[in-house]
Amino acid sequence: MKTILLACLVTLGTSVCFAQAEQPGEKPRLSKLAAESDLVALAQLIATEYEYTRGFPSKGFATLRILIPYKQPEPLDQVQVIEEGLKESECYFPEISAWQEGQRFLVFLNRLEADQFKGHPQLCALPVLVTDGNRYAMRIPQDAIDLGEDGRAMVRELIYADPAARLDATELTGTAIEQMIEEQGLRQIGDELIYTLGIELTDVRRLIGPCALEVD
């Protein structure tokens, strides 16, 4: 069965929504994720409380603070993202220590009850970083989504001032480092690899489109 994804045509200041077929096996677009979610927002990770099985999270929840709501059933300052299981489709966030600054994510969530949500089954969160100009940008590359031609044209080289933009490369081989630099647009400084590409969040918002963010 084909999945129907929501698209939007803007003409003379008026938004016209129409259905667009998505072929089976295709990566989802941001507009589809947003249209099928109850909550779409820029959120910051506050804490995680997970049980672990063989070193992997298998049950529990993450608490996130809503920074910028794009689609929201009602005003919420914080949400809990509940998860259980070990499948790839489950929505777990990286473990965070009390002294760490929480990472930021563009989240796509569906409501369970009150302030409790579950991640969209195809993709629940995309990393967002802070630039040196104190702006938000979605980190690129993002292999789990289809940016489309418009999205690929929005990718820019950026300077990130965010700890989450840095990867420890001390245990990587020279070949692995070269491959990551070539495939992911990373830059090496000492023992770290740093992301350099992204789409500013204002452009991500345009890429999602107004139709997908309408609340029923």
Whole-angstrom distance, CA of residue 68 vs CA of residue 40: 9
d(CA 95, CA 47): 8
Residue 111 bridge partners (DSSP): 117
Please give the domain boundaries of the chain with CATH numbers for all domains: 3-152+198-213 (2.40.50.120), 161-195 (no CATH)
Note the pLDDT tens digit of each residue in 164-200: 999 999 988 989 999 999 989 899 999 999 999 999 9
Contact by Cβ (8 Å): 129, 156: no
Checking if the pLDDT of 24 tops 80, the result is no
Structure tokens at 215: 């609340």
pTM: 0.86
Q: Which two structure tokens, joined as six digits, stand for 93? A: 């966030």
Secondary structure of the chain: what % helix, strand, coil (to 5)? 20, 45, 35
| Structure tokens given for 156 | 């820019």
Share of the chain above pLDDT 70, in %: 88
Note the pLDDT tens digit of each residue in 68-92.
999 998 889 999 999 988 776 689 9
Cβ atoms of 192 and 169 within 8 Å: the answer is yes
Residue 186 has a pLDDT of 93
Using an 8 Å Cβ cutoff, are 154 and 180 in contact? no
